[in-house]
Structure 1
Amino acid sequence: MDWLRIGAFGLLIIYHVGLVFAPWNFEPKDRAAYEWVTIPLVFTNSWRLSLLFAISGYASAALLARERVVGAFLRSRLARLGIPLAFGTALIVAPQPWAALAGEHGYPHGFGYFLIHDYFRFGRIDGVLVPDWAHLWFVGYLLVYTFVLGALWSLPPHLRSALRRGAERVLAGPWLLPAGMAFVLVARLLPPGWSDTRALVDDASAHAVYLSSFLFGVLLRRSEALRLAILRQWKIAGLLGLAGYLVVAGFEARFHGSVPRDLLAPFLIARAVQSWGMIVALFGIADRYWNRDGAWRATLAEAVFPFYIVHQTIIMLVNFWLADSAIGAPGRFAILIAATAGGCWLFYLVGREIGPLRPLIGLKRTHARAFPLHAPAEAVPAE
């Protein structure tokens, strides 16, 4: 599961760099947009976040089993998720709206002035929300889902067992793929559809999918029957997921995101098939081929959360500085990838060695050490 999580977050960073060059609504934006960039992007955008929430559910179930007491588990999760969320929103994310205002709206002041005088207005400046949790919405949603798990765990044991058995009857057998795909399809018919608001209170379709993905991960951690069902069906799930992608990519190449109403049904079905098929396939691949340790596994697993906290701010600032350069798009893409990877590593390596910074970037309060190859097993975060 660590390798799957490491790979998923690495793919997320590449995806966000790719969004810079796509014509979709995303900040930061390159000075030119390329329609063809959307074709590789749609390979992941229907399932990448659901996969991350499912992995987080699996890890949360493991942590809850270790803590045993719901209150202790929730306090631990509140510290490991809530502190980085507050710190990230207050400081790490702040350069993003500043760069958007300075680059697109002619904001005349430097970042220091913006942070002191304008960032905490709690409103909008030229349509740009301040303050904003930006990409850290994922952490906020995950924190809410963690408390949902705590509430479910507080139910009487016989009721919890009944819920688990009911879920296993549906998912740990031949209905794993059709039931999951049908659920994603129906859930995404809720408002706002496939376009998440990421504002927590008006995101019904996202909560339906992401909370269910999170609870699917919880069930997987506790259900050998479900694990074996995934191992039996991951190959067909992968084929269906790839077939769904080919259909979605065809629609994107033909209609550039504006699918005609009379063709909307097959498009939405293909996205649901792609989403659930790829999630099941990746869990099966991870179980079959990645269930082994490696020299860098623990260090990379610990680094994932700090990487996530800082990566989008680095992308936005580097793209802001590249805005007036004569470097072509391939060069700008390479620079963004290299700068983001290097900046994330520096953020993690420095932060992990400074005790007071560790909880601010999602790491446990352990004594700083001199750059060990392996992170201590108990320090591996599971967000």
Structure 2
Amino acid sequence: MRTLERRYDIDWIRVIAIGLLLIYHVAIGFQPWGIAIGFIGNDQPWLSLWIPMTLLNVWRIPLLFFVSGMGVYFALRNRTWSQLVRERARRILLPFLFGMVAIVPVHIYLWQRYYHFDPGYTPGPGHLWFLGNLFSYVVLLSPAFLYLKRQEGQRFARWAANVLRTPLGLLPVFALFIAEALILHPIPFELYAMTWHGFFLGLLAFFFGFFFVWCGSPFWNMLLRWWWLFFTAAVGLFVLRLIFFQPMAPLYLLSIESNCWILTVFALGYRYLNHPSKVLSYLSKAAYPIYIVHMIFLYLGSLLIFPLPIPVPIQFLLVLLFTTAGCFLSYELIIRRLRFLRPLFGLN
């Protein structure tokens, strides 16, 4: 049976992943190496905060690529290739180009001001590199997606769904992700932004996100039956990484751990989150604009709060609250209400 109904769990997972992104980026500001990757760094680091972040950093970005590929499956059900590309250009490419020239320079200016550098206008992809990758994947993988669309209900589709009825059917998928890591040898594994590792890992995740939904209910029912296996493997590999492989586990283990966490999230989401709600309807629309603007409020909050003589955990909570409140207020009061701004933030 094909997965034709709206998948609210996928919408929820995308919203949750954006929420985790905000927390993760706030946490970077409390690490001594944050300044090296362009964040405003606190003079008082909070090193233990990074322990839970190391659990997230091997799967949070690949998860978003998987979810984005799943979204293309649903978008392609009633669109032609040209309609899909035009729609994704409007929703992804336009916000990407706008963000490069109007959003990224703002938080770079705040960084320059905090560190007393000469201010300058510095356009670039910044944290929006993710959008550039997504649009590239739509263009590159559209022929494969259209082929799969035509194959629905045919012999190949039935064979693929049958293969994914058991966890063993995922072995070729895991093998491709491991091969990507071993060939490109990223150091560290979680360095996704504007790297070939991030590009090809995202390409694989985007394709298989589409493919998993295309395979229909046999794959998702398999996840429901075997979620405990993926969860146990993910926890075991994380503990192994934390205790025996600091600072970094072998790349093939990181790749396996990453996908086990992601499959666990999809299984639990499919079981518990696949239902509509007014909260989801609001957050699903807000998530994209919030992702685009969040670095401005993160840097502004860091600039204002880091100099305060208060304990570091309270600083973390205040920066997180400031960033979240700033994002939601800008979305609610400005972005969603001004018609000319809506397309620039991916809204209809």
TM-score normalized by structure 2?
0.87
- Residue 215 of structure 2 corresponds to residue 223 of structure 1: yes
> Which runs of structure 2 are paired with 1:184-333 in the superposition (5 Å)?
184-193=177-186, 194-196=189-191, 198-199=193-194, 203-224=195-216, 225-251=218-244, 255=246, 257=247, 259=248, 265=250, 268-333=251-316
Unaligned runs of 5+ residues in structure 1 are: 120-129, 365-383
- Residue 133 of structure 2 corresponds to residue 92 of structure 1: no
How many Å apart are 1:173 and its aligned residue? Answer: 2.6
Q: Is the 8 A contact 2:238 2:257 kept in 1?
A: yes
Distance in 2 between residues matched to 1:232 and 1:362, nearest whole Å: 37
Q: Secondary structure at the match of 1:42?
A: helix
> Which runs of structure 2 are paired with 1:79-118 in the superposition (5 Å)?
79-104=90-115, 106-109=116-119, 114=120
Q: Is the 8 A contact 2:181 2:252 kept in 1?
A: no
How many Å apart are 1:141 and its aligned residue? Answer: 0.6
How many Å apart are 1:159 and its aligned residue? Answer: 7.6
Distance in 2 between residues matched to 1:88 and 1:171, nearest whole Å: 39
Instruction: Determine the structure 2 residue equivalent to 1:353.
Output: 337
What percentage of aligned pairs have identical amino acids? 27
How many Å apart are 1:54 and its aligned residue? Answer: 0.6
Find 2:15's aligned residue among 6, 25, 28.
6
Instruction: Determine the structure 1 residue equivalent to 2:4.
Output: none
How many Å apart are 1:238 and its aligned residue? Answer: 1.0
Letter in 2 for 1:2: D
- Residue 153 of structure 2 corresponds to residue 136 of structure 1: no
How many Å apart are 1:154 and its aligned residue? Answer: 4.9
How has the CA–CA distance of structure 1 residues 195 and 242 changed in structure 2, closer, same or farther, with 3 Å as cutoff?
closer
Taking only aligned residues, the RMSD between alpha carbons, in angstroms, comes to 2.4
Instruction: Determine the structure 2 residue equivalent to 1:336.
Output: 319
Q: Is the 8 A contact 1:177 1:237 kept in 2?
A: no
Distance in 1 between residues matched to 2:192 and 2:270, nearest whole Å: 33
Distance in 2 between residues matched to 1:342 and 1:41, nearest whole Å: 22
Unaligned runs of 5+ residues in structure 2 are: 1-9
Find 2:77's aligned residue among 52, 61, 65.
65
Distance in 2 between residues matched to 1:22 and 1:207, nearest whole Å: 26
How many Å apart are 1:235 and its aligned residue? Answer: 1.7
How has the CA–CA distance of structure 1 residues 86 and 187 changed in structure 2, closer, same or farther, with 3 Å as cutoff?
same
Which sits farther off after the overlay, 178-187 or 270-279?
178-187
**Number of positions where the alignment pairs a residue of Structure 1 with one of Structure 2:** 331
Alpha-carbon displacement from aligned partner over 1:294-322 (angstroms, at most 9, x marks no partner): 22111110000011001122111211223
How has the CA–CA distance of structure 1 residues 45 and 163 changed in structure 2, closer, same or farther, with 3 Å as cutoff?
farther
Q: Is the 8 A contact 1:96 1:316 kept in 2?
A: yes
Instruction: Determine the structure 1 residue equivalent to 2:55.
Output: 43
- Residue 69 of structure 2 corresponds to residue 53 of structure 1: no
Distance in 1 between residues matched to 2:149 and 2:61, nearest whole Å: 31
How has the CA–CA distance of structure 1 residues 163 and 150 changed in structure 2, closer, same or farther, with 3 Å as cutoff?
farther
Alpha-carbon displacement from aligned partner over 1:177-221 (angstroms, at most 9, x marks no partner): 54444433321123351153633xxx3322332111111111122
Letter in 2 for 1:187: E
Alpha-carbon displacement from aligned partner over 1:231-288 (angstroms, at most 9, x marks no partner): 2222211111111111222247xx4x3x5xxxx54xx343223211111111111111
Which sits farther off after the overlay, 174-183 or 15-24?
174-183
Instruction: Determine the structure 2 residue equivalent to 1:368.
Output: none
Instruction: Determine the structure 1 residue equivalent to 2:89.
Output: 78
How has the CA–CA distance of structure 1 residues 13 and 166 changed in structure 2, closer, same or farther, with 3 Å as cutoff?
farther
Q: Secondary structure at the match of 1:33?
A: coil
How has the CA–CA distance of structure 1 residues 163 and 141 changed in structure 2, closer, same or farther, with 3 Å as cutoff?
farther
How many Å apart are 1:14 and its aligned residue? Answer: 0.8
Distance in 2 between residues matched to 1:303 and 1:363, nearest whole Å: 9
Distance in 1 between residues matched to 2:343 and 2:308, nearest whole Å: 37
Letter in 2 for 1:60: V
Instruction: Determine the structure 1 residue equivalent to 2:6.
Output: none
Q: Is the 8 A contact 1:318 1:339 kept in 2?
A: yes
Q: Is the 8 A contact 1:95 1:317 kept in 2?
A: no
Distance in 1 between residues matched to 2:40 and 2:165, nearest whole Å: 42
Which sits farther off after the overlay, 338-347 or 146-155?
146-155
